[in-house]
Structure 1
């Protein structure tokens, strides 16, 4: 089959001349990224309860974009997550697909069925019995077995050398990893099941107080999904959003944000947030000001950079919560407000079984229910689609979002 493979000799290419100075490093990186579109063996059934699918629409996750654009930063060399991946990889885990073949022990699926992928390579897909305590409790993204069993290390589809993802003509998956898509839900909505679920986990595990104020830092897929979730599930909460690009800002307004702000200059950003939330601004001898009392109850940080954390802890109220959902390289940041205001800084890793209004089910099942009920419509986020052969153009659109207006980019293989 044809697949986009990461971890091989890069394809030669000519660099476009249109990129501006801010995006040119990412464009340069794309030219040397170890990626190539090539023929690879068709995927096989890894166990008898696996199935083979044909991807229809595959979203480009922010982590995939960072990887291919080599955008994790210089401080990422000792990343502990390297223990949970293997190469070469065929990435792509935001997948809508058709089932085309069933293993002899696969259950709950039919050939021809349209499905969306739950990508976690946890105990069940790895054939590990009994399942670990995390899997038993539905916390599949915290599984103990991501490097165990007869499947090569990888936390999810697309980061294990054995489990090729949706940037390919075919994709294998365990029967538990696939959710049937209702006929009323188009591919363009189904493709958001994964990023929605990531943001749902961050919000429902660390919910805002009633009539509170929250900041969503970043207005890419995770940030905009967070805004939509907050509006659908917590309508009495006021939401401010930091959006880097005009297309993101427009969608943040459209999805119901009360206030949308630019990320720079950060001093002005802090001042506006404090004025919006009703906090009191304190100016140090030098550097950024801090709110005390603070103005914001929870910050959902979908960027995860030192400069975003510095803003978050400055605007949070005492004993507020900073939720790190974004992935980036580590770096130094001025975190004295973290201890002074006794802020909870917590990580949020993907999703599993989540609870909404007392109902516990898989996050993807919640998403499909909300979409079917007409409570969510994320289709405006899908701004660009490309054929797999146009993979370089797809990542160029993400490298130069200011010019392209790209928010969610996907490979359309229908």
Structure 2
């Protein structure tokens, strides 16, 4: 038996959480997520069993708490995903761990990071069109094959997840960690791979103006990836908290702006015209070329659409939630592009390194010291989740579990 945090879906609790989170914020919200309304419970579960010889058991060393995890617990995640998972499951997909079984090219005891996507290869089925072209994040078979439905480890009942002392993973999901990369940096590799993927989703021409909405983990890592891909472009960051603004500037942001002042600041830098509607936020005619929405909130996407020039592009890399006025999308003929998870190299005609290979290299070189707070044991899960909900206000970037700690 292994100690685990198990998520049990309850439509009644989902609706109740959705209602409460629509009106609460900050510490009150944190109390709700970690309190009696939480769909999580700390229990001892039977250890998951590797489905076949291509799998191994993994003991997590650190497991991050992602914004999408919090969205699930708050009832903010879309019901769209309810048929793409199998419950009850153990959350946790940002993991650095140690393998427990021998694989042909991966000895037991290897330190690895997890690519959580449960695509065709782990499911032991013929590759769909997306997996065949190395774009596993688009896999069409996430509910079929040899294991239970689940878009990722952390939403599949059969595999377990990182918020436990053991889960199982297929060899194709595991990336060895170099000795030079400590656990605190390694646990950031998965979200960093997602940021690399988002930055690659659209071309950023030389000199194109770019805005990143949000400077939490996703936003800061997207900025990091963009600085590698578009080193000469002006990149503005819209950040709510002072410490986020400081981190963004340290990572190479051209300028940072508070949300309430973003339109006015970008009006000047892009020579756009600003308009104030009878209701709703200000918007630009003119504006920036490419905007990356990294908050997952309705307000962030609304801001992104209002700052983008006609014919420009908005990349949605935070898991979206809430209702948004799409009038700017229609009126300015914008391109709205999704960026989900990561892939292993893209289509053959655009051959490149995998997002994880790029992320591992970037994690070793980037100024990430102090990004991961001292980790919590699973038994202190309520404190950990409360900290994660209030991370922005408290000056934190990444909150994680150390599942092996007592």
TM above 0.5: yes
8 Å contact kept, 1:218–1:243: yes
Say whether residues 1:117 and 2:118 are aligned partners: no
Tell me which residue corresponds to 1:350: 341
Matched, 1:299 2:291: yes
- Once superposed, what is the RMSD of the aligned Cα atoms? 2.3
Q: Deviations over 1:318-345 (max 9, x none)?
A: 21101111113341x3222212221101
> Any residues of structure 2 matched to 1:398-409 within 5 Å, and which?
398-409=388-399
CA drift of 1:302 comes to 1.1
Deviations 1:49-88 (A, max 9, x none): 10111111111111112222x1507xx4xx2221110111
What whole-Å deviation, never above 9, does each CA across 1:102-158 have from its counterpart, x for those lacking one? Answer: 3xxx43211111111011111111111x21111111111111111102311101101
Equivalent residue, structure 2, for 1:23: 27
| SS in structure 1 at match of 2:122 | helix
SS at match of 2:197: helix
Q: Does 2:172 align with 1:176?
A: yes
Work out the CA distance in 2 between the residues paired with 1:278 and 1:98: 53
Query: Against the structure 1 CA distance between its residues 219 and 33, is the aligned structure 2 distance closer, same or farther, given a 3 Å change threshold?
Result: same
Give the structure 2 partner of residue 133 of structure 1: 129
Match of 2:267 among 274, 285, 293: 274
The whole-number CA distance in structure 2 between the counterparts of 1:159 and 1:366 is: 25
Query: Which ranges in structure 1 are unaligned for 5 or more consecutive residues?
Result: 11-19
Q: Is the 2:27–2:386 Cα contact (8 Å) retained in structure 1?
A: no
Contact 2:241–2:393 at 8 Å: present in 1 too?
no
2:162 is matched with which residue? 166
**Counterpart in 1 of 2:387?**
397
Could you tell me how far apart the structure 2 residues matched to 1:110 and 1:186 are? 19
Partner of 2:315: 323
**How far apart in 2 are the matches of 1:63 and 1:140?**
19
Distance in 1 of aligned mates of 2:400 and 2:256: 26
How far apart in 1 are the matches of 2:345 and 2:176?
18
The normalised TM-score by structure 2 is 0.90
Q: Look up the SS of the partner of 1:112 in the other structure.
A: coil
Aligned-partner SS, 1:381: coil
Residue 207 of structure 1: how far off its partner (Å): 2.9
Equivalent-residue separation in structure 1 for 2:206 and 2:310 (angstroms):
17
Aligned equivalent of 1:339 = 330
* Structure 2 unaligned spans of 5+: 14-23
TM-aligned CA distance change 1:205 to 1:328, over 3 Å: closer
- 1:63/1:211 Cα in 2 relative to 1: closer, same or farther (>3 Å)? same
Query: Offset of 1:285 from its aligned partner?
Result: 4.6
- From 52, 56, 59, give the equivalent of 2:61: 56
Match of 1:309 in 2: 301
- Alignment correspondent of 1:6: 7
Q: Is the 8 A contact 1:204 1:354 kept in 2?
A: no
Kindly tell me the number of residue pairs found equivalent between the two proteins. 389
Q: 1:58 to 1:296 in 2, by over 3 A?
A: same
The two structures have a TM-score, normalised by structure 1, of 0.88
**CA separation of 1:89 and 1:21: change in aligned 2, threshold 3 A:** closer
1:175-229 per-residue CA deviation (whole Å, 9 max, x = no partner) reads: 1111111111111111111111111111112132211211111111110101111
Pick which of 378-387 and 141-150 moved more. Answer: 378-387
